[in-house]
A and B are shown apart, each in its own frame.
Chain A
Amino acid sequence: METLNQLASGLMQVISDPLVLLAILIGCFLGTIVGMLPGLGPSTAIALLIPIAFAFPAEITLVMVIAMYLGAEFGGRISAILLNIPGDISAMMTTLEGHPMARAGKAGLALSMSAIASFVGTIVGVVGLTFFAPWIAQIALSLGPSEYFAMVVMAIVVSSVVVSQSTIKGIITMLLGLALATIGTDPQLGMPRFTFGQTSMISGLPELAVIIGVFGVGEVLWVLASAARQNYVVPRISGANRSYPRFLEMWRLKWTMARGSALGFVVGVLPGTGSGIASVLSYSVEKRISGQPSNFGTGVPEGLTGPESSNNSAAVGSMVPMLALGIPGSGTAAVLMAYLIAYGVQPGPGFFRSQPDLAWIIIASLYVSAVMLLVLNIPLVPVFARILRVPVHYLMPIILVLAVIGGFSISNSLFHAYLVVIFGLVGYGMRLAGFSPVLLVIGMILGGLSESRLRQAVVLNHGSMLDALLSPWGYVFYGVAAVVLVGDVVRRRRMTEKEKGIVLSTKD
């Protein structure tokens, strides 16, 4: 009951403030636009908002950023359906059924159906967040520094295994992120470390500069370097065909959307999994339980609406560990967390107690954003389709300028703009060598938390590292990490043997 009262209070604050509503509207619109551009995902969308964000107070910026996050998740499906190129990885499965529908002259219908499914997924995810996040935060308050550090280790291992194609690369990237977070000043002794005598490094590497670099500049470089910079042929949304689904058509898909949303939320809550995995799982489930699995790939509505509701629900689900534990569940959640930290807000178990108003405004803004996105996405589809026709050679230079302004805005210093370019190159290089920039950012965000908890634990255990690491809950978290790691090694070995078997049988 208390949860509902707090939610109602948050909703009242959001609805009654025209500036907040305007911020949500702008966030939804910009998010949808950036999200639908091939190669540019929600993280890029949010990273590019940084110069605009610093012009507003915290609650306005945060609701705008969150609206942008949801908007980008909504937007990813537009290019997937119209161009057969997902705006981001979570819209990957949408291409399989959405594009065949577009080719069959049902582009408007596919876009409307997927918008409704995305709305359902988002709402289910937000309801889950409303009830689970405060509950998990309450439990996490009872964890000591040893247990908390063990939980961070578990998050690092699980994220590395799930996000990265190679576990060793995943863990290296995470550790590198943690190492980057130590640059600057020692939090206890106040002495400089890893600054190499540079005074500009004493305050550390700003997370936002790294984020704009790897997600903004890095993505642009990747698009410019690949064939993706070719301009696309965007199909026209014909007025001759029906653009909106009938009520009964959507009602028939209710269980598909319910399954996708529930699955997506559970997957999203797990660290590092993200919405890409959720949509793949949902598509496989729908195909498996379908009476006619052979029809999949030809424009089956179940294959479109299931993954769409799933990836949107997962996007919201990944905010649960971020808000309740201070551990980002995905790259975009890490970017959101960096925003919160930049405004002096520390998400984690104490967040709902120390800043309940802000916490509930954030959750309430998710509900309002979901409604606004549905209202925007259905009638404005032809407008978004026209934006997709903007040539890449005009778009990419603008993104680079915005990234530079973003770096400059962090502290009105061009030094941070240079950092943005350097980390853009780092992000591009990482993608080239198969490392995940997402893990670098998650590692960097977790750096401060893991250091403070480990050092607190060692102090509480009179300088004994072993005692600091071992605790009853610690065994559970390290155990989960070990099981995930061993399971992954076994799975990869089996896959390699299978591939070898296929090669041998082909040779025979």
Chain B
Amino acid sequence: MSEPGRGTDAKPKFFIDTDLRANLVAAALLIGVSIVYVAESIRLPSTGVSTSDTGPRLYTLTIGVPLLLLCLIYGGLVLHQALTQRTFITAIERNTKDAASHEANLPFWKRPHLLAVLATLALIAGMQVVGFAIATTVFLFVVTSIVRGAPMQWNKAVPACLFAVASTLIIIAGLEYGLGVRLPDGDLGMGW
């Protein structure tokens, strides 16, 4: 009996599907976090205000130890699944399967959600320096263009630019002037 993907012209490759890969990463992260949590809990004092054994350690260990145990069990289950259910499929099949879920076949610079995260981090850093108005206008233009695609075409760039300016002005008018919500001024003191 042939394995999935064998028999096609394309060269078969070792493949773990997207969900399993995400679970493997999650398990590794969770085990790491829970180890740090338990280790830090042990360093906390055990003595409380009135009675011994009622200090900060009591509660954090009460949740930390079961958390670590469950994370280890989860990690074991995921690893077992990865070892027993690994499949060999062709690159074409892998692309189709991944594209159906999370566009994992796209390179980093073409994944809008990852670019949006970077842009949002840049927005916050920009707010700190140049203030809300400029940082937000640039951010809205960039992210709108990324999500829409083809930012270099002027017929798409002009509406994105107008949208960015208008939205920033509306947010400032509504929040800062309308409701008195403070917006970041920026270190350069360029307003808002």
Contacts and interface: CB of A to CB of B under 8 A. Distances in A.
Count class of interface residues, chain A: 35 or more
Given A189-B45, A429-B26, A224 B56 contact: no
A224 B110 CA distance: 11
A189 B48 CA distance: 7
Interface in B111-139: 111-113, 116-117, 119-121, 123-124, 127-128, 136, 139
18 contacts: A55-B175, A55-B181, A168-B74, A169-B74, A182-B63, A189-B48, A194-B40, A194-B60, A221-B116, A393-B144, A400-B119, A400-B120, A408-B127, A414-B124, A417-B127, A418-B121, A429-B22, A433-B26
B90 to A, nearest CB: 23
Contacts, number: 179
Interface string B151-192: 000000000000100010001000100011111100000000
Contact of A189 (B25, B55, B74, B179): B55
Contact of A221 (B54, B117, B121, B123): B117
Contacts of B148: 391, 393
A497 interface: no
A425 B63 contact: no
A365 interface: no
Given A168-B70, A193-B40, A455 B58 contact: yes
B66 interface: yes
A105 B192 CA distance: 49
A414 B119 CA distance: 15
A396 interface: yes
B37 interface: yes
Chain B binding surface, main DSSP class? helix
Given A175-B66, A225-B102, A434 B113 contact: no
A425 B40 contact: no
A172 B175 CA distance: 39
A409 interface: yes
A260 to B, nearest CB: 34
A178 interface: yes
Interface of B: 18-19, 22-23, 25-26, 30, 33, 37, 40, 44-45, 48-56, 58-60, 62-64, 66-67, 70-71, 73-74, 77, 101-103, 111-113, 116-117, 119-121, 123-124, 127-128, 136, 139-140, 143-144, 147-148, 163, 167, 171, 175, 179-184
A217 interface: yes
A59 B55 CA distance: 37
B144 A397 contact: yes
B26 A55 contact: no
Contact of B70 (A52, A171, A409, A421): A171
A394 B113 contact: no
A392 interface: yes
Contacts of A175: 63, 66-67, 70
A191 B40 CA distance: 13
Contacts of A391: 148
B37 A194 contact: yes
**The 5 residue pairs across chains A and B that have the minimum distance between CB atoms:** A433-B26, A55-B179, A397-B143, A393-B147, A393-B148
Nearest to A52: B179
B180 A421 contact: no
Interface string A478-500: 00000000000000000000000
